[in-house]
Structure 1
Amino acid sequence: MIDCLIVGGGIIGLSAAYELVRRGATVRIIDDQRSQRTASWAAAGILPPPISRATHDAMEQLRDMSHELYPGWCERLQQESGIDVQFARSGGIYVARRVGETASLAAALQQWQVDGVELHEINIDWIQEHEPALNTSPPFRSAYLLPDESTVCPPKLLSALQQCLQDSGVQIDRDVRLHGWNRHQSRVESVATSCGTISTGHICVATGPWSHETLFDLEIDLPVEPRRGQMLMWEFDEPIIHRVINEGLRYLVPRPDGKLLAGSTVEDVGFDDQVTEAGLAELTQFANGLIPALEEHPPTQSWTGLRPFSRDGFPYLGRLPNYENVLVATGHFRSGIHLAPATAQVISDLLAGMPIECDLQAFAPTRT
């Protein structure tokens, strides 16, 4: 019997498995391949800057945990897997071109100042010197540099996690469906799957937007819903910009190899994961407006991902009510890549009976 079965092979499931294995646990992962449609593989990989003030807010505690863990986590994954996950403290530029965006950026600025985030107001001369590809005519109404914003390449990060797990002997079963739960009193002793029955000491459900469906037979109503995000990519011989450019909910993310990503839509369309003409036109217009040179270079690739949305914006982390050995880690919405190492630590600490560094009540599956 294994120590823990992870149901779901996206960033959260793989990260939890990696941390558990590091602590000596025996782990198996089953995944029905729908994780390929989630935000894990589709994400841009933006990691927001840390806050310097002390906080009692549970979400900020989780974010701070991840920020502290990320550099060492990526370095270890890169060393063990041989895969460069492209973690970099690239910095982020936040701009506003319209009145509404100016007001939103002013509100964000106020919160950053309260949180102690390092930031610098920048002008046209600075932008033209450091990011000459950006369109500054007409000039931005406001623009700020957050030097501690970082990036990572999610597909490479996921590939590194998979490689490390496979090298550690972890069995990762793809295209396997969960059919049922074999319960005894307050425990699930095994699960029935399309590849047979799996006995396990613990189970961690990390199936993202499909979590409600996964837990239905346990009579758990976890209100996690899918939100579609569409993405576009351009390819150049070298990076056309060097920092993340943020405007409202949209962003441009450069990669070291010359790729440029534009995202993202947020759409309540159920499990429809198809790109749309309207969505791609919206992203193209946004990107062309910031970088005029893109008008001469059509995008080379587009895709979507389904994000796991929770109604209060907090993920679900912890043990399920009435089932002492079943945990959930889901509902991270747009923060799955960022919160993965902290989530993995929380899940591993829970299974080991260790103190948790953040207030789990805010993430409880039983919250309403």
Structure 2
Amino acid sequence: MKVVVVGGGVIGLSVAWRLATEHDVTLVDPAPGRGASWVAGGMLAPVTESWPGEEDLLDLGSASLDSWPAFAAGLGISLHTAGTIVAAVDAADAAQLDVLADFLAARGRDVDRLTGRELRRVEPTISFRVRSGLMVPGDLAVDNRELLRALHSSAEAAGVGFVREPVRAVRREAVDLGGTTLRCDVAVIAAGAWSSGLHPALASAVYPVKGEILRLRARPNALPPPAHTVRALVESRPVYLVPREGDELVVGATQYEAGFDDEVTAGGVRDLLMYAETVLPGITEYGLAECAAGLRAGSRDNLPLIGWLEPGVLVAAGHHRNGLLLAPITADAVAAFVSGAAPPPVVRVADPARLKQRTS
């Protein structure tokens, strides 16, 4: 079949790479490999992202996490397997972690509760202000930029054609580029936050959520980055710190609705540095290598939209904070839909038909 994938972030590239083993695939994006995926933290962490009321998202993320080792091996990239530490600074933060730990225990997920002193035995650079925390050994992390480069080259090697133009609209059997039209058997909308403007069914279903991140680099004589991914609550405000090769540390992320504004703000940088320093005081000696902002694709219930919008038009968008995590299972589901097979059962919760049910 002739398939056109609209969007070249981690979801679009993963879908195109997966489909190219069986179909004639073209990917359309003015700048593939950029967007929100380029500024992601790289955490593959369904357990530490979970919260009561989001059981379906936990199950979907866990199923995708199981696919990640093989997915990464197919791309020739490595995963960070040290796990995640979740830290709480004050009593209110610790109470929130207790809620999370109790929720996970009720779902059969094991996490280790640690005192501040026990956390510092695992990660000596954690601040004495940190009161308590959790140790989550099963979480993974990936260098998002290495991932995007590998997906792009692997998709090209598999025969995916790239069209670097903006898309105006997607309809049955056609993708409108403004001056030209790409005909196809199936179109897959995987344009992240911009998916909302490509098909009427997505107009109010997907929306941009702005996130700012920082990249720091340990300078000579500074303390090294942590060995684990560190997520923390600082007076109820979340911050994460993800180690990278070359003594780099990714710090993120702000989260707020600001339309399609993707400019980094001074306040966002200030807040991230302040919260990160509270958890890892040694970062004050790091160099500030990069400030960036991206637009996540939010959805009304935090679940992605994966499935048919109409005959010939599929959607794979609305992944919010979990685009990297859900890339393997999303690609498998889209491949199943295109081939007329049933997707993995756990993906049923992401059926876009739920949007019609809620408005009827």
Identity %, equivalent residues: 28
Output one character per residue of 1:141-161: Cα deviation in whole Å (capped at 9) or x when no partner. Answer: 321211111100111111100
Matched letter for residue 93 of structure 1: I
1:8 is aligned to 7
In structure 2, how many angstroms separate the alpha carbons of the residues matched to 1:316 and 1:271? 20
Q: Does the 8 Å CA contact 2:241/2:250 hold for their aligned counterparts?
A: yes
1:261 is aligned to 250
Matched letter for residue 224 of structure 1: V
Output one character per residue of 1:198-235: Cα deviation in whole Å (capped at 9) or x when no partner. Answer: 1211010011111111114xx65342110111111111
1:189 shift after superposition: 2.5
- Aligned pairs for 1:135-284 (under 5 A) are 135-136=127-128, 138=129, 140-174=130-164, 176-180=165-169, 188-194=172-178, 196-216=180-200, 221-236=203-218, 239-248=224-233, 249-284=238-273
Matched letter for residue 192 of structure 2: G
2:20 is aligned to 21
1:4 shift after superposition: 0.7
Matched letter for residue 65 of structure 2: H
Output one character per residue of 1:299-357: Cα deviation in whole Å (capped at 9) or x when no partner. Answer: 2211011001111111111101xx21100010000000000100111111111111222
Q: Does the 8 Å CA contact 2:195/2:202 hold for their aligned counterparts?
A: no
Output one character per residue of 1:103-159: Cα deviation in whole Å (capped at 9) or x when no partner. Answer: 2111101111112223222334443333111112x4x33212111111001111111
1:346 is aligned to 333
1:63 alignment partner, SS class: helix
Q: TM-score, normalised by structure 1?
A: 0.87
Instruction: Return the match for 1:329 from 310, 313, 316.
Output: 316
In structure 1, how many angstroms separate the alpha carbons of the residues matched to 2:55 and 2:135? 25
Matched letter for residue 232 of structure 1: L
In structure 2, how many angstroms separate the alpha carbons of the residues matched to 1:116 and 1:239? 34
Structure 1 residues 101 and 126, CA gap change in structure 2 (3 angstroms): closer
Output one character per residue of 1:156-186: Cα deviation in whole Å (capped at 9) or x when no partner. Answer: 1111000001112211122x122355x6xxx
2:147 alignment partner, SS class: helix
In structure 2, how many angstroms separate the alpha carbons of the residues matched to 1:122 and 1:179? 52
Name stretches of at least 5 consecutive residues in structure 2 with no aligned partner.
Answer: 49-53
In structure 1, how many angstroms separate the alpha carbons of the residues matched to 2:32 and 2:19? 23
1:31 is aligned to 29
In structure 2, how many angstroms separate the alpha carbons of the residues matched to 1:285 and 1:6? 40
Instruction: Return the match for 2:305 from 285, 306, 316.
Output: 316
Structure 1 residues 29 and 195, CA gap change in structure 2 (3 angstroms): farther
Structure 1 residues 256 and 353, CA gap change in structure 2 (3 angstroms): same
In structure 1, how many angstroms separate the alpha carbons of the residues matched to 2:168 and 2:226? 48
1:303 is aligned to 292
In structure 2, how many angstroms separate the alpha carbons of the residues matched to 1:240 and 1:299? 14
1:253 shift after superposition: 0.6
1:91 is aligned to 83
In structure 2, how many angstroms separate the alpha carbons of the residues matched to 1:64 and 1:103? 25
In structure 1, how many angstroms separate the alpha carbons of the residues matched to 2:136 and 2:202? 41
RMSD over equivalenced CA pairs, Å: 2.2
1:64 is aligned to 62
Q: Does the 8 Å CA contact 1:95/1:247 hold for their aligned counterparts?
A: yes
Q: TM-score, normalised by structure 2?
A: 0.89
In structure 2, how many angstroms separate the alpha carbons of the residues matched to 1:295 and 1:252? 14
Q: Does the 8 Å CA contact 1:251/1:263 hold for their aligned counterparts?
A: yes
Structure 1 residues 280 and 204, CA gap change in structure 2 (3 angstroms): same
Structure 1 residues 289 and 229, CA gap change in structure 2 (3 angstroms): same
2:352 alignment partner, SS class: coil
In structure 1, how many angstroms separate the alpha carbons of the residues matched to 2:85 and 2:55? 26
After TM superposition, where is structure 1 displaced by more than 6 Å over at least 4 residues in a row?
A: none
